[in-house]
Amino acid sequence: MAAPGLQPGSRSGVTRAEPDAAPHLTSADFPSGRGPGRPRDEDRAPGAPSPAEAARAPKRWIPRQVLITPAAREWEHGRAIAERAAALGAEVVELRANRLAGLSGATPRETYRLAKSTLAVVVAPPSKLRLQPIPPSADWRVDLAEGCPAHCQYCYLAGSLQGPPVTRVYANLPEILGVLPDYLGRRTLKRAHEGTTFEASCYTDPLGIEHLSGSLAVLIRHFGAWEADVGLRWTTKYDAVGPLLDLAHGGRTRVRFSVNAEPVSGRYEGGTARVDERLGALRQLALAGYRVGLTVAPVMPVEGWVEAYEDLFVRAARAIRGVPGLDLTVECITHRFTPGSKEVLQGWYPRTRLEMDEGSRSAKTSKFGGRKYVYRKPVMDELKAAVEQMVATHLPQAEVLYWT
Ligand code: SF4
């Protein structure tokens, strides 16, 4: 359906918008969340799909609409993104101004649906070209995009994105690559053996939009050709790694798969690949010589958590079995929320069963004065001891980078 302020256009065509106009969607048919209780293929080794799964393509998000700004159209990378999206059936709208507007619905939920069905191709603002430290994950944060097509009910981005959660992908990738050498050797972490590290998944899931953006492949090749003590890092809940397997990564990229126990991933991680599919993708990348990792997050003491996390690590161990030269790390992040993220998440997911009870948590103040709620020390200690023991038992070859 054509949107107010827009000329009609076909789903695969290009339409031109009036200044500052943006289309409104009228339906909610974005990829639905994955509900709890899906069957698990206990006996199937990750990387060895069942016949039914072999026929299933990796999870790919197709936005209903792609908005491209005039500034983004000046970049070849931006135009290529729009062309790829159009080829996949998205309606591409050429905006006449660089500001995204008209993306608010009547309710937070409607705004959310509209935003999560939209990809905006924009130019990264100058602030994105001044990299920020991002401990404990990496020395520096490099953003290829902002926003994510998935529907995690605990989303880390809630409360930190300005405006509706539209996925914005940056067209001026050459400019972003151009600033990286300024940070070479400027270390903010103590993990000296990793070189200067750059994290590309702070504000997006880069693999979730890679079939549209192509940015990750460019970045991986860039680091592969960069003869320096550097490392690229990114994490994902998707599994479409096929196009990345043959890239000249030079061993300078570490891909971590965000994984969780089934009661958490099955209930709260809508629109993502299943955990076993992520583990299968991890195996493929490890066999292709990539450094790999598990980001176990957010760790939650849900009912039956000990058995559920044990099961997760058993499946992870199965996924990496027999991989020659495996370089595996583990990062563990417990669940936390802020007053702002709680408010946003309850608007997006009004029926969520996610526990966000300030009364059962400890409040911590950040160095910028913000408040966040984490598990109380006895809970935290119990989680940490149990999960670290599970890692030691099932993944003895893994290096645990941090627990937070
Ligand atoms: S994958 Fe990450 S960024 Fe995307 S919805 Fe889930 S938590 Fe948010």
Q: Please, what are the domains in the chain?
A: 18-22+58-403 (3.80.30.30)
Stretch 173-199: mean pLDDT, rounded?
Answer: 90
The residue nearest atom 6 of ligand 1, judged by CA position, is: 152
The residue nearest atom 8 of ligand 1, judged by CA position, is: 155
**Which pLDDT score is estimated for 373?**
97
**Which pLDDT score is estimated for 385?**
98
Grade residue 56 by pLDDT with cuts at 50, 70 and 90: low
Rounded CA-CA distance 253/251 in Å is: 6
72 CB under 6 A from ligand 1?
Answer: no
345 CB under 6 A from ligand 1?
Answer: no
What percent of the chain shows pLDDT beyond 70?
A: 85
Q: 146 C-alpha vs ligand 1 centroid, how far in Å? A: 11
Grade residue 53 by pLDDT with cuts at 50, 70 and 90: very low
Helix (H, G, I), strand (E, B) or coil at 319: helix
Return the exposure string of 253-270: e unless at least 16 CB atoms fall within 10 Å of the residue's CB, then b.
Answer: bbbbbbbbbbbbbbbbbb
pLDDT at 215 over 50: yes
Q: 302 C-alpha vs ligand 1 centroid, how far in Å? A: 20
The answer to whether the bond into 298 is cis (omega within 30° of 0) is: yes
199 CB under 6 A from ligand 1?
Answer: no
pLDDT at 38 over 70: no
116 CB under 6 A from ligand 1?
Answer: no
pLDDT at 30 over 50: no
Q: 227 C-alpha vs ligand 1 centroid, how far in Å? A: 32
- Greater confidence (104 vs 3) lies with 104
**Which pLDDT score is estimated for 188?**
77
pTM over 0.95: no
Per-residue pLDDT tens for 77-107?
A: 999 999 999 999 999 999 999 999 878 888 8
Stretch 284-289: mean pLDDT, rounded?
Answer: 98
Q: 249 C-alpha vs ligand 1 centroid, how far in Å? A: 25
Rounded CA-CA distance 169/13 in Å is: 20
Average pLDDT, the chain: 87
Q: How many CA atoms lie within 13 A of 40 on its CB side?
A: 18
Rounded CA-CA distance 366/302 in Å is: 26
pLDDT at 12 over 70: no
Q: How far is CA 124 from CA 62, 146, 171, 210, in A?
A: 22, 9, 7, 17
305 CB under 6 A from ligand 1?
Answer: no
Grade residue 192 by pLDDT with cuts at 50, 70 and 90: low
